[in-house]
A and B are shown apart, each in its own frame.
Chain A
Amino acid sequence: QVQVVQSGGEVKKPGASVKVSCKASGYTFNNYGISWVRQAPGQGLEWMGWVNPYNGNTNYVQKFQGRVTMTTDTSTNTAYMELRTLKSDDTAVYYCAIDSPQDSSSSLYWGQGTLVTVSS
């Protein structure tokens, strides 16, 4: 069965960077894209971007462009999301989500979430 396991929580100071990992298993990693979604405390879901493990193509929300990098390592079936120049309002739970095999526009498998806290 498909499993998606994310790295543990992080505490960072403003201006620092964070890199969250997302290790997938139970399917052919190259075949399905991976979205990154975040959720600030008490707030809704926000789609941040997407990476294609097959060719490394990415698509980012404009507000994060220049500050985010999404990559994959096909040798370890792991996706990464790096967010730089952190601000206090980047405090959120960050999720990775795997495209559905039936419909690439939806996310079927989700990681457990990684809490990133930005505080001085």
Chain B
Amino acid sequence: GAVVSQHPSRVICKSGTSVKIECRSLDFQATTMFWYRQFPKQSLMLMATSNEGSKATYEQGVEKDKFLINHASLTLSTLTVTSAHPEDSSFYICSARIGGSSQPQHFGDGTRLSIL
């Protein structure tokens, strides 16, 4: 089945650091990938839609200059949390799907980001 890989699985860093998270579709091409954020005991919240070769579409309330998304190829999207602060600590999850089909989205295993 379709596999989505996310890296790293856990990051702990100091406040003010920028952190990059990678999301790869391992066995299929994904023209669209999605980035979610999940706080403890809460559901997933969609942050942005990452489109290959074009600008990402951000959900209302998500700062595009804070969360930089680059979808440079059909198998890789990156999310960079710039100048991270403790309130950015969360579980970040990406998903991808095979374009143009009725196949469901497949999710990565998430990245736990802890800002000290």
Q: Do A and B bind each other?
A: no
